Structure 1
Amino acid sequence: MPAQLNTLDAVPIAPGRWPLLGHTPSLLRRRFGFTSSLREHGDLVKIYLGPLATYVVTSPDLVHQVLVTDGASFDKGIMFDRFRPYFGNGIAMSNGSFHRKQRRLVQPAFHRERIAGYTAAMSGKAAELSGSWSTGQVIEFDLAMQELAVNIVGETLFATELGAQAIAEAQRSMPVVIKQGMVRALSPGFVEKLPIPGNRRFDLAISRLRRIVGEVIAAGRAEGADRGDVLSMLLLARDADTGEGMDDGQVYDEVVTLLTGGIETTALALAWFFHEVGRAPEIERRLHAEVDQVLDGRPVTIEDVPKLVYTQQIAQEVLRAYPIWLLMRRASAEVELGGVRLPVGTEVTLSPHALHHDPRYFPDPDRFDPDRWAPERDSGPPKGAYVPFGAGARQCIGNVFAQTEIVAAAATIAASWRLVPVAGRPVRQKVTGAAYPSQLPMTAQRRNV
């Protein structure tokens, strides 16, 4: 590398650093406000998680370099090290050649032909849930969408009676695991050893998941058949070079990875989707007009998804407005980034939320505007500015599944229902790793179509 590159000492340090705890209190107290403020200090800004320095990338071009151009020179970072003992070494957590091998084994479960089959489960479960509502009923909509996401991932992941028990446990335990896991990831290591209620809840939830998912895997292994679900494909997958499959421990890690990603992302996206639609009459009118025209009263199929153009625009805007908060990477080779030499082992952080709310690339970023994504608009945001599922070789393997699910489920619900916000019950964002609504009561009103 050229000698004139700056060293890490030249990177500005963000204000708000505490003794011993570093910037962790600022991160946990201010969340979005803190990460969005970092762009004011440069394209690369140093913060401390306890005593650990990490370098926050705030510009799209450098984000694209980390995730895509030089993606092979970065592994998952310290946050994933903290998660790995509990979430396992699935494709979301693993690194290097092992990650590439696992991605090849898991990828067939997300080919277009499989997703076409999953679409029936997506629309079917959405119809089943919304069919249980009555006109005038006040629904805790965030909880309803969590139930829907759990049922959809369960239908596609576990096609067994025992699998239904695993899904019930996932519905109970995964929100605890996700929330407390993020707190652990951002806190000094000693915090996870403290006998506090959050730690006890987390440990119990992990223990329950290990037991029931292990039982489902053992039953599937004994059956040895392809039932058309994801678990069957994981159990039957073989490496093209060695002919080897996954042992039960690795299958468990991949199942937990898919449960985590398949529940949180889509449940939150669907909840915020109808929150935004419900408070914007023109967006609601256009959504209903499109759904009525494309579906004409029948269930959603995979062929309908590309035709639901405006529905997709709303989904894209939801993923822009309410993305995950932080991603982390670690340099596995020496890299030049923004004129700075990053030695091997340097921790790098980026915030999809901060990127998606940068007014340089998304004018009036707090305004919900699906027309940002209209096909007739010539230019979109630059590479690296919109990363709801990451990018490059480490992009979320279930991104097409998730986007299909959001559109199919939203169209199914919108075909029959209006969801109206409840007056006097304000909705705020609560941030863990993602943006959760503080509450989301909505009144169901059946449409006369």
Structure 2
Amino acid sequence: MSSPGTLSQMPVAPGRWPVLGHTPSLLRHRFGFTSSLAGHGDVVKVYLGPLPAYMVTSPRLIHQILVTDGKKFDKGIMFDRFRPFFGNGIAMSNGPFHDRQRRLMLPAFHVSRIADYATVMSEVAQAIAESWQANQVVEVDQAMLRLSVTVAGRTLFTTELGAAAIAEAQRSMPVVIRQGMVRALSPGFVTHLPIPGNRRFDQAIQRLRAIVLAVVAEGREQPGDRGDILSMLLAARDEDTGEPMTDQQVHDEVVTLLTGGIETTALALTWFFHEIGRHPGIEERWHAEVDRLRGRPLTYQDVAKLPYTNRICKEVLRRYPIWLLMRRTNTDVDLGGTLVPPATEVAFSPHALHHDERFYPDPYRFDPDRWDTAKNPPPPKGAYVPFSDGSRKCIGNHFAFAEMAIATATIGSRWRMVPVPDRPVRIKVTGAAYPSQLPMTAVPRAV
């Protein structure tokens, strides 16, 4: 049996700049750059400034990183740069501390709790739908952001300060997420430059921290299960020591949930309606399914009664996933015959995976029937990772999927969302795909 190769033998991606490495190519071309790397090998060296990182393009190796050898990897440099601002929540933490925090948080996302949260999802979506007028032009991206912020806030907080926290999240989270990705991929000195983006980011972080800590303090004064996520976090106790989370730990987990539960869900909802509007045949089948529930308020149990809606959701998550994820080895790893030493930065692109024609024929075609298991085999392990995978799989994945299905079906029972002519929609990319705009006309449905 031959010994593993070394990282020095890895191919280097084209487009490296002096000093800045591949960062300009990553930030300027994003999807195009990461999608091109599979043509250079299963593992390709890129430079984030002077720092080497290894982009993995093989689903088999990505499954190894996330699942098989998941404990051999920590979060990478991107998360190191986020951590001072977002805190050390489960999306940022490593090792035993991460495992402890995840155990403490899991009860808040048990299926029985999600069933309760589904009532909120249905109520919020119904209120959004009832606020529109016939033939009104709706900025769908902004409406879905309001929807996801309100759902996140009402399920997280039921205290008096909760409303203020929701308002601040709606104001600050888009700035934090979009500017945060630029910071994560830029050389360290960029974060200290007195430029408008940095100032907006720092101010948003300060405002968000202040309101979340205030809500945590208010929650401490009102002990007991209020049916929200915050009260469960405050009541959680370590199974070994019996210790609760500190206020800082609760703050970090709340910010983590706001970060993961608002922007990404809002984008998925937005792209759902965009794709429905572009494909009349899909829209017709979807409305026929939604109409079988007769417009009544939906529950968590109804999600299973919407198989075509679920396939549309899966296809949206395939077409519009997060762009880039990073990990760092904490021990020696044999990665596809290459010996990777500790403290090596490893990255992969869910977007590139989800658009690889080896696994998804005609990958830029929107086709919910890809996910009809009676007709098509599933993609290989590691080729579909909208929520990551393994021990670090998004803790709110079932919450997010239920929100997508319930919100879209609730709105779709009442409205057709029709694209506005001469208002083209372009994709803008930071850490995820954003629409440049998404105006749609809300046309009443005669059901």
Superposition TM-score, scaled by structure 2 size? 0.99
State the distance in 1 between where 2:322 and 2:234 align. 30
Using the TM superposition, give the Cα deviation of residue 414 of structure 1 relative to its aligned residue in structure 2, in angstroms: 0.4
* Unmatched 5+ stretches in structure 2: none
Helix, strand or coil for the counterpart of 1:436?
strand
Identical aligned pairs, as a percentage?
69
State the distance in 2 between where 1:29 and 1:195 align. 22
Aligned pair 1:412/2:441, yes or no? no
1:62 aligns with 61
State the distance in 2 between where 1:382 and 1:117 align. 34
Helix, strand or coil for the counterpart of 1:304?
helix
Aligned pair 1:133/2:132, yes or no? yes
2:160 aligns with 161
State the distance in 2 between where 1:193 and 1:401 align. 37
1:314 pairs, out of 312, 315, 325, with 312
Helix, strand or coil for the counterpart of 1:426?
coil
- Which string of whole-angstrom CA distances, capped at 9 and with x for unpartnered residues, describes residues 328-363 of structure 1? 000011000011000000100000000000000000
State the distance in 2 between where 1:235 and 1:185 align. 31
Write the mapping of 1:4-403 to structure 2, written as runs, cut at 5 A: 4-293=3-292, 295-403=293-401
State the distance in 1 between where 2:375 and 2:65 align. 28
Whether the 8 Å contact between 2:121 and 2:406 is mirrored in structure 1 is yes
Counterpart amino acid of 1:381?
Answer: P
1:422 aligns with 420
Counterpart amino acid of 2:8?
Answer: D
Helix, strand or coil for the counterpart of 2:262?
helix
Helix, strand or coil for the counterpart of 1:13?
coil
Using the TM superposition, give the Cα deviation of residue 378 of structure 1 relative to its aligned residue in structure 2, in angstroms: 4.5
State the distance in 2 between where 1:264 and 1:340 align. 37
State the distance in 2 between where 1:71 and 1:226 align. 34
Counterpart amino acid of 1:14?
Answer: A
Counterpart amino acid of 1:327?
Answer: L
State the distance in 1 between where 2:25 and 2:413 align. 43
State the distance in 1 between where 2:134 and 2:12 align. 55
State the distance in 1 between where 2:275 and 2:160 align. 36
Using the TM superposition, give the Cα deviation of residue 71 of structure 1 relative to its aligned residue in structure 2, in angstroms: 0.5
Using the TM superposition, give the Cα deviation of residue 277 of structure 1 relative to its aligned residue in structure 2, in angstroms: 0.2
State the distance in 2 between where 1:291 and 1:78 align. 44
Using the TM superposition, give the Cα deviation of residue 265 of structure 1 relative to its aligned residue in structure 2, in angstroms: 1.4
Counterpart amino acid of 1:76?
Answer: K
State the distance in 2 between where 1:229 and 1:433 align. 29
State the distance in 1 between where 2:134 and 2:79 align. 44
- How many residues end up aligned between the 2 structures? 447
Helix, strand or coil for the counterpart of 2:300?
coil
State the distance in 2 between where 1:80 and 1:191 align. 16
- Which string of whole-angstrom CA distances, capped at 9 and with x for unpartnered residues, describes residues 260-303 of structure 1? 0000111000000000001111111011000111x112111111
State the distance in 1 between where 2:376 and 2:36 align. 30
Superposition TM-score, scaled by structure 1 size? 0.99
Using the TM superposition, give the Cα deviation of residue 4 of structure 1 relative to its aligned residue in structure 2, in angstroms: 1.9
Helix, strand or coil for the counterpart of 2:442?
strand
State the distance in 1 between where 2:329 and 2:210 align. 35
Whether the 8 Å contact between 2:78 and 2:185 is mirrored in structure 1 is yes
Using the TM superposition, give the Cα deviation of residue 224 of structure 1 relative to its aligned residue in structure 2, in angstroms: 1.2
Whether the 8 Å contact between 2:370 and 2:376 is mirrored in structure 1 is no
State the distance in 2 between where 1:377 and 1:235 align. 46
State the distance in 2 between where 1:160 and 1:281 align. 43
* Unmatched 5+ stretches in structure 1: none
Helix, strand or coil for the counterpart of 1:355?
helix
State the distance in 1 between where 2:159 and 2:130 align. 24
